[in-house]
C-alpha cells in the first residue's frame, strides 16, 4: 500500500494576497481530496515540479499553470473589489 496523503491546513486568511497563501490553499484542497501530488499534476496537465513549486509559494510560477491547477481542483477566484473613487487617485 502506498503512502497516504496527509491533509494540510488552509491559509490563515480568507483573502489570498500572495503566492504563499495561494499555494497553501491549493495544497489544502488537494490533500483534502486525498490526492497525491503526481495524480493532481496529471489531472491539471502540469508537471509535478511545477505543482510542487506553486504549492510552496514560488512567485515565479506561470499564471497559466496556476490557473490550470485552480481549474483542475475546482477552485474559483472571486473579485471582492471596492468602488473606484477618484479622490483616492490624488498625485503628490
Domains in the chain: boundaries = 19-76
Residue 61 · residue 47 · CB < 8 Å: no
pLDDT tens, residue by residue, 14-39 = 888 899 999 999 999 999 999 999 99
* Homologous superfamily in CATH for domain 19-76: lambda repressor-like DNA-binding domains (1.10.260.40)
Q: Where are the beta strands (DSSP E) in the chain?
A: none
Threshold 0.75, pTM exceeds: yes
pLDDT tens, residue by residue, 28-76 = 999 999 999 999 999 999 999 999 999 999 999 999 999 999 999 999 9
3 phi, psi to nearest 5 deg: -65, 135
Amino acid at each position: 500500500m502506498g503512502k497516504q496523503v496527509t491533509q494540510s491546513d488552509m491559509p490563515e486568511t480568507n483573502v489570498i494576497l500572495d503566492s504563499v497563501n495561494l499555494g497553501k490553499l491549493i495544497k489544502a484542497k488537494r490533500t483534502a481530496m486525498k490526492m497525491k501530488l503526481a495524480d493532481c499534476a496529471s489531472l491539471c496537465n502540469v508537471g509535478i515540479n511545477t505543482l510542487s513549486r506553486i504549492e510552496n509559494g514560488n512567485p515565479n510560477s506561470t499564471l497559466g499553470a496556476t490557473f490550470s491547477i485552480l481549474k483542475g481542483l475546482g477552485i474559483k477566484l472571486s473579485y471582492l473589489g471596492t468602488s473606484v473613487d477618484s479622490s483616492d487617485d490624488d498625485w503628490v
